[in-house]
Amino acid sequence: MKKLLSLTVLASLSLFISCGGKEEKKDEKESIKIGTQKVEEKKVDSNTAAVTISGNDLMKFDKNEIRVKAGQEITLTMRHIGKLDKKVMGHNFVILKQGVNIQEFSLKASDAGEPADWIPDGGNEVIVHTKMLGGGETDTITFMAPEAGTYDFICSFPGHSAMMKGKFIVE
């Protein structure tokens, strides 16, 4: 019995000694004080700009002015944050060329209709546009900012341009 006890103690000691001597890995955990935000460094490239704009079921854009620099590559994301279908409450984002009359363009867009995605004359009065979106949909386009100036942006769905419009300012 003493032999068995001695053997057990010896085996336990051997196991204990063979496992010892290794350093424990410590998990370094980041601590953030409550009420603060972690600031992440982002490289800012002055040749690019990311813009997000939303439209809702109340025929409103969340922005009425967008500012960019001439020659920048713009990545614009248009979000329809409403719930209604695009046949009832479709939204798009259209930047018109300078000098284009919003009301005249909107009438032509209505005439062009759904087959043309509400963009008349093959888009010859448009700098860029997203596709027509229904509730919950998103579209992203990338384009080069035009020369310095102020351009109108609208939603070309019939009747929307009266409320869904703003200025795209290129500095």
Structure confidence at residue 164 (pLDDT): 97
Please name the amino acid found at residue 170.
V
Average pLDDT, integer, range 16-23: 51
Mean residue pLDDT of the chain comes to 84
Q: Which amino acid is at 70?
A: A
Encode pLDDT of 99-152 as tens digits. Answer: 999 999 999 999 999 999 999 999 999 999 999 999 999 999 999 999 999 999
Residue 38: is its pLDDT beyond 50? no
The contacts of residue 149 (CB under 8 Å, 6+ apart) are 98, 170
| 55 contacts 108 by C-beta, under 8 angstroms | no
Phi-psi region at 123: left, alpha or beta (left = phi > 0; alpha = psi -120 to 50): left
pLDDT surpassing 50 at residue 49: yes
Cβ–Cβ under 8 Å, residues 72 and 49: yes
Higher pLDDT, 42 or 48: 48
pLDDT at 34 over 70: no
pTM confidence score: 0.73
* pLDDT beyond 60 at 17: no
The answer, yes or no, to whether residue 39 has pLDDT greater than 50, is no
Distance CA 135, CA 61 (A): 14
Work out the percent of the chain whose per-residue pLDDT is above 90.
73
What domains, with CATH codes, occur in the chain?
48-170 (2.60.40.420)
What pLDDT is recorded for position 140? 98
Confidence of residue 1 (pLDDT cuts 50, 70, 90): low
Is pLDDT above 70 for 74? yes
What percentage of the chain carries pLDDT values higher than 70?
74
pLDDT for 46 equals: 75
Q: What is the pLDDT of residue 19?
A: 53
